[in-house]
Chains A and B, each alone.
Chain A
């Protein structure tokens, strides 16, 4: 590749490899984006972990490139969001073409007042490198390269893990083993656990090319374009003038043959014109599946990211949902390890994230059925939608080139305290219990955005001087502490006061003087009230941590 050289992270022999097996509270398998995000999140909660990776570098090839707004907000919380945004390419607009004509244009973030765009495109190797470097700043993370897990024996209070290294094998005891080891998850196979779902009979070619181009920074999707008839094509811009082009090939294509430059170049020439100057950076041929494990928790072994669930790439719901897994898991694991919540809190990770995985799989399967119709009737309806979309607005809502990743609203989670004050907004996008917190512009000690002020701990968002100083202190010193972030009003001892610069905090949270919103450490709404009541807040926190 011209624009990136994979770093080599050296194997280092560890003291654990000599003597009796060491015990670690948390062992993470896989130093990909999800394993690293979890390790960093745990470290921010004061929990140390060992991360094992069989390789000695980051992703080879760009692979996951579209990072959604919610994933960026999580990465912001982990302290690495800005590097990703600075290096990557932000976009909000997508265009869908039928043959050579524009059928539909969409804007994924039509409103202002958000720190992050709908998406930032960045090659996975850059993202992983930034995460490795961030992990390196945190002494609680013990990252071990060329440590390949070859055996897992689960037991009641953890798992015995056998690890192979260039110096031979060793074993360790893990209090919790978190498998972030990807789609082919060796841990899942070692435990004989299955993943159920659908395999799609289609093949796609990914070509990353280096090119100077004046294509806009948008997602362009073609159905049946003149340069690639009867199939679909997707174009994305990445960092460093690298462009991702995704060609649908059909099931009968020979994956090895299609990877050869002699096969790829004519496809690119047909698309970009005979005079376009470009170089191929990386190419791959893939098929995909939509499936998930029945349960993401098996005793003290927990699965997160692609090891737990797989989707088609249309919608960018793979890595993005993996970050939401770790966002959900880290604080729960930290509370359980600190003895402040019972182990069944981890069951809520399974319940919440299998719900989200089903939503992702449903959306991804629908997009795939639209892009690769399985029957003549399905193809006819698909083409009818695309024809109608040119003229009729209603049909544009049916065009499905991927419903792009948005976080699940965990409306039915047992951790939520249902609304008792009946006048709260429940319209789509409202901050109902279970919703991921909306961002908004503010002025405060931690910067210009609301999400920079909430999360990591429980946070009480209070509109005006709704919580007195004694209550703020009591919340801060509870066994599970809760910070108070006050929107407007005069100073309250111990509370962080932020200013609602554009009135958007009040609007997005349906807040007025006295309104209280309890946010979980993963920035999801746990409960909301029209007035502060210390007993109700305690009860809602107990519920959100399975201490009820």
Chain B
């Protein structure tokens, strides 16, 4: 079982960020939400490791709403 890597791992992070925002260009909030959900599912399957995914879910949720 792995550990979630939160150290810099992206090559050309600014390019990636631009692509990410670009993927939502011209979409309604609902369409954007659907794109994001598909992206999460695709990446989750690629990662596969449930331990890593659990750590990512906890890190994403941290500080938002009731714990």
Residues of the A chain whose Cβ atoms lie less than 8 Å from the Cβ of B54: none
Contact B45 A381 (CB under 8 A): no
Whether A398 and B33, one on each chain, are in contact in the complex, defined by CB atoms closer than 8 angstroms, is no
Q: Are the CB atoms of B34 and A394 closer together than 8 Å?
A: no
Chain B 1-52 interface residues, beta-carbon cutoff 8 Å to A? 30, 33-34, 36-38, 40-42, 45
Asked whether, in the complex, the Cβ of A388 is within 8 Å of the Cβ of B41, the reply is: yes
How many B residues have CB within 8 A of the partner chain? Answer: 10
Complex Cα gap A68–B40 (Å): 35
Query: Is residue A316 contacting chain B, with contact meaning CB distance below 8 A?
Result: no
Does A465 reach chain B (CB closer than 8 Å)?
A: no
Cα distance, A388 to B34, chains bound together (Å): 11
Q: Is the CB of B42 within 8 A of A387?
A: no
In the complex, A395 has a CB within 8 A of chain B: yes
- Nearest CB in chain A: distance from B48 CB, A: 9
Total A residues in contact with B, Cβ cutoff 8 Å: 13
Let me know if A547 is at the binding interface, CB within 8 A: no
Question: Could you tell me if B38 and A384 are in contact, using CB atoms closer than 8 angstroms?
Answer: yes
Is A89 in contact with chain B by the CB < 8 A criterion? no
Select one of B34, B36, B41 contacting A395, CB under 8 A. B41
**A387 contacts B38, CB within 8 Å?**
yes
Would you call the interface of chain B mostly helix, strand, loop, or mixed? helix
Cβ of B45 and Cβ of A394 under 8 Å apart? yes
Alpha-carbon distance A380/B39, docked complex (angstroms): 12
Chain A contacts of B41 at CB under 8 A? 381, 384-385, 388, 395, 398
Residues of B within 8 Å of A387, CB to CB, are 34, 38
A380 to B42, Cβ gap below 8 A?
no
Q: A372 at interface (Cβ–Cβ under 8 A)?
A: no
A398 to B40, CA, bound (A): 13
How far is A516 from B57 in the complex, measured between Cα atoms in Å? 46
Contact between chains at A380 and B33 (CB < 8 Å): yes
Q: How far is the CA of A388 from the CA of B44 in the complex (A)?
A: 13
0 or 1 for each of A479-517: is its CB under 8 Å from B? (1 = yes): 000000000000000000000000000000000000000
* A383 interface residue (CB < 8 Å to B): yes
- Which residues of the other chain, A, contact B34 by a CB distance below 8 angstroms? 380, 383-384, 387
Q: What is the bound-complex CA distance between A451 and B34, given in angstroms? A: 48
A-B contacts, 21 of them at CB < 8 A, read: A376-B33, A377-B33, A377-B37, A380-B30, A380-B33, A380-B37, A381-B37, A381-B40, A383-B34, A384-B38, A384-B40, A384-B41, A385-B41, A387-B34, A387-B38, A388-B41, A388-B42, A392-B45, A394-B45, A395-B41, A395-B45
A residues contacting B by CB (< 8 A) are: 376-377, 380-381, 383-385, 387-388, 392, 394-395, 398
Residues on B facing A (Cβ under 8 Å)? 30, 33-34, 36-38, 40-42, 45
Known: A377-B37, A380-B33, A387-B38. 14 other contacts (CB 8 A): A377-B33, A380-B30, A381-B40, A381-B41, A383-B34, A383-B37, A384-B34, A384-B37, A385-B41, A388-B38, A388-B41, A392-B45, A394-B45, A395-B41
